[in-house]
Amino acid sequence: MTLSERQNHILALLDKAAGNLTSTELTQAFGVSVQTIRKDLNELSNLGLVQRVHGGITRPRQNRNLSFTNRQVINLEAKQAIARAVAARLPEGASIFLGNGTTPQQVAQALLDHPGLQVITNNLDAALTLCQNPNIETLLAGGRIRPSDQDLMGEDTTRFMRRFQVNFGIFGIGGLSAKGELIDFSPEESHLTRAIIDCSDQRILVTDSSKYLRSAPVRTGHLSEIDLFITEMLPEPVQALLAATDAEVVCASPQQQEPVK
């Protein structure tokens, strides 16, 4: 299932609200009937993206990530725009890490016409996509397959990634805390991302706005360790966090890609 434009906007409003949203607020915001909003909220609730409360919705409490299938449909156009912005910055002959998650998966799609790269990844979908481009050498890490996330994880995976020193490390995160911390949902995800950060000449964080000010239990790093931050939307709290770093920021949208800093 693909989320509608209105459903993506509902999730964005919920993130900005940092609490509950009522059905009345949503009907007024979109100028539609209560029945229409109720249908949207029921679908979002069934996907696990929101939690129904009396009179409205809130974000579900999470100590684990949403399913891979659900994450694939959230902000898909934004992730595709982010991916195009990444692909445009990778020179021919570069070596890259491509981490786990749905945004790195979209980066792989955007690289289908790239003239040549070496890619090291634990992302099964990304590897299957990249093998369609004969100009890209893809090295797939070994380890334990996570069917729910379509990737490989564990000590063997992290050890394999740490054997390399690459030009660009491209990765996503489970969430970005209000303190600028990069957070993940499991220690093994955190170890893998940490390996990418430690073993890359330039660190590129790719994340859409659904990850902003989100909670997850494992601390992986901090925004201050990032060289390039690519996203599709920058609310004021995130701009303030980035202003305290030396990271270059690119805000990419389906319509345009405009450098912010």
Same domain, 129 and 173: yes
Q: Give yes or no for residue 24 having a pLDDT over 50.
A: yes
Considering the domain architecture, whether residues 75 and 156 belong to the same structural domain is answered as yes
- Torsion sign over Cα 194, 163, 128, 150: negative
Q: Are residues 145 and 178 in the same domain?
A: yes
Indicate if 23 and 104 belong to the same structural domain: no
Average pLDDT, rounded, for the chain: 88
Instruction: Point out the domain boundary residue: 18, 33, 61.
Output: 61
In this structure, are 187 and 206 located in the same domain?
A: yes
Comparing 11 with 135, the larger pLDDT belongs to 135
Lowest mean pLDDT among 44-48, 141-145, 243-247: 44-48
| 57 & 82 share domain | no
Q: What is the CATH number of the domain that holds 166?
A: 3.40.50.1360
CA distance 81 to 114: 16
Of 61, 85, 108, at which residue does a domain stop? Answer: 61
Q: Where are the beta strands (DSSP E) in the chain?
A: 21-22, 51-53, 56-58, 94-98, 117-121, 136-140, 144-146, 151-153, 166-171, 175-176, 181-184, 200-206, 218-222, 228-231, 248-252, 257-259
171 and 204 within one domain = yes
pLDDT(66) > 60: no
145-190 confidence digits (pLDDT tens): 998 889 999 999 999 999 999 999 999 999 999 899 999 999 999 9
- Residues 17 and 92 reside in one and the same domain: no
Same domain? For 175 and 231 the reply is yes
**Looking up tokens 């991916």, which residue turns up?**
83
Across residues 215-235, what is the average pLDDT? 93
What are the beta bridge partners of residue 248?
228
pLDDT, tens digit, for every residue of 81-137? 999 999 999 999 999 999 999 999 999 999 999 999 999 999 999 999 999 999 999
Q: How far is the C-alpha of 114 from the C-alpha of 107, rounded, in Å?
A: 11
One domain for residues 57 and 74: no
Please state, for a pLDDT cut of 90, what percent of the chain lies above it: 61
- Looking up residue 52, the CATH number of its domain turns out to be 1.10.10.10
Among residues 20, 42, 61, which one ends one of the domains? 61
Identity (one letter) of the amino acid at 228?
A: L
SS3 assignment, position 121: strand
Residues 164, 251: one domain?
yes
Instruction: Give the pLDDT confidence score for residue 43 in this predicted structure.
Output: 85
Q: How would you classify residue 117: left for phi > 0, otherwise alpha for psi between -120 and 50, otherwise beta? A: beta
What stretch of H or E contains 234? none
Boundaries of domain holding 9: 5-61
Which of 156, 183, 160, 186 is closest to 172 using CA atoms? 183
On the question of pLDDT at 256 being above 60, the answer is: no
What's the rounded mean pLDDT across residues 190-216?
Answer: 92
What the block records as the tokens of 155 is 């000590």
Is residue 260 very low, low, confident or very high in pLDDT (cuts 50, 70, 90)? Answer: very low
Best CA proximity match to 199, nearest among 171, 163, 234:
163
Percent of the chain's residues with pLDDT above 70: 89
- Which amino acid would we find at residue 125? D
Apex 82 CA angle, 219 and 134, nearest 5: 105
**What is the per-residue pLDDT for 186?**
93
Q: What pLDDT does 259 receive?
A: 43
Q: Which whole-number Å values give the CA distances from 206 to 6, 61, 165, 233, in the listed order?
A: 23, 24, 20, 12
Q: Coil, strand, or helix at residue 66?
A: coil
Residues 83 and 41 occupy one common structural domain: no
Please count the structural domains in the chain: 2
Residues 6+ apart with CB under 8 A from 202: 167, 168, 169, 227, 228
